[in-house]
Amino acid sequence: MKNNRRNNNHHRNNQGKPNNKPHSKHDGHDNSKQPQPSLYGAHAVREAWLNPERNVEALYLTEQAAQSFDDVLREAKSKGLKRPSPTDVDKQKLEKMLPKGAVHQGIAMLCAPLDDIFIQDFIIKAESNPNSVLLMLDQVTDPHNVGAIIRSASAFGAEGIIMQKKHAPALEGVLAKTACGGVEHIPVAYETNLSRTLEELKEHGFFTYGLDERGAMNIGDVPKDGKRVLVLGAEGSGLRRLVAENCDELVKLPTKPPIASLNVSNAAAVGLYALL
């Protein structure tokens, strides 16, 4: 499923999403002399390179990575995508351009952020898909977890993800690498008030399920049809009170002692499998 972002000035709000600008700085590196690549890693860069909605400014390849990326370059050319010529770099230079410890696999890309998405886009799209499933992340901020959730959402066929604007990680760097290219296929909407967002979704026919160990229903018993939202909270604190109260029903995973809880990204994968 290609990420179908709307380029509509009425809907755009550049203040409404985290700072995904590709020229951000990272501690421990001198980035003052050159723009900062925002994506790195083979899968993340491949999917962005082939995404016609991506505005790509530069592609950096080591000699070894260039050999494995030839097929991708040819595919993009065959599709008529406008792309810059790759820049050859050695491993040391590439590592100076990226955050310390970045697992880059010899490939990095400088590109603009994708267009903003809003819940109205999900509502409109659901009119033609009565079995839409959305994920909502309540203060889940770890980029590894969010990236893994985006990857699962893409693999299982979710329509999109909703996150709170505050403290949300940018859709780049380690998050994008963990998502293995899923950032290009799963739209992510940022909203200020998740409780209010749940109310709006319910007004448009979505049934909302909060994943919570206090739930009376096992997630496997949730109907597999209809427009649904699965809400997950941060590890440790779980769903906030108002968010939980605005869910139509709390559901739980059928876990057993002595380890009766899962990492939030694993819980999201299990929940998506149950719903889809």
The token pair that represents 103 in the structure block: 């697992």
Mean pLDDT of 172-198: 97
Give residue 135's Cα distance to chain centre: 11
What pLDDT, on a 0 to 100 scale, did the predictor assign at position 23?
A: 40
Backbone torsions φ then ψ of 39, nearest 5 degrees = -125, 145
**Cα separation, 91 vs 142, whole angstroms:** 27
Look at residues 230, 149, 223 and name the one whose alpha carbon lies nearest to residue 182: 149
Domains and CATH numbers, the chain: 39-111 (3.30.1330), 119-275 (3.40.1280.10)
Give pTM, 2 decimals. 0.87
Mean pLDDT of 254-264: 89
Model confidence band, residue 142 (pLDDT cutoffs 50, 70, 90): very high
Residue corresponding to tokens 């790195």: 40
The region that residue 27 occupies, defined by phi over 0 for left and psi between -120 and 50 for alpha, beta otherwise, is beta
What pLDDT, on a 0 to 100 scale, did the predictor assign at position 5?
A: 52
What pLDDT, on a 0 to 100 scale, did the predictor assign at position 1?
A: 47
Residue corresponding to tokens 């990272």: 26
Backbone torsions φ then ψ of 57, nearest 5 degrees = -100, -35
What pLDDT, on a 0 to 100 scale, did the predictor assign at position 3?
A: 54
Write the pLDDT tens digit of every residue in 96-124: 999 999 999 999 999 999 999 999 999 99
Look at residues 168, 151, 135, 133 and name the one whose alpha carbon lies nearest to residue 16: 168
What pLDDT, on a 0 to 100 scale, did the predictor assign at position 21?
A: 45
The region that residue 190 occupies, defined by phi over 0 for left and psi between -120 and 50 for alpha, beta otherwise, is beta
Write the pLDDT tens digit of every residue in 145-165: 999 999 999 999 999 999 999
Average pLDDT over all residues of the chain:
90
| Percent of the chain at pLDDT exceeding 90 | 82
Mean pLDDT of 208-217: 94
At 231, the amino acid letter reads: V
Is residue 40's pLDDT more than 80? yes
Write the pLDDT tens digit of every residue in 78-90: 999 999 999 999 9
Is residue 8's pLDDT more than 90? no
Mean pLDDT of 176-191: 98
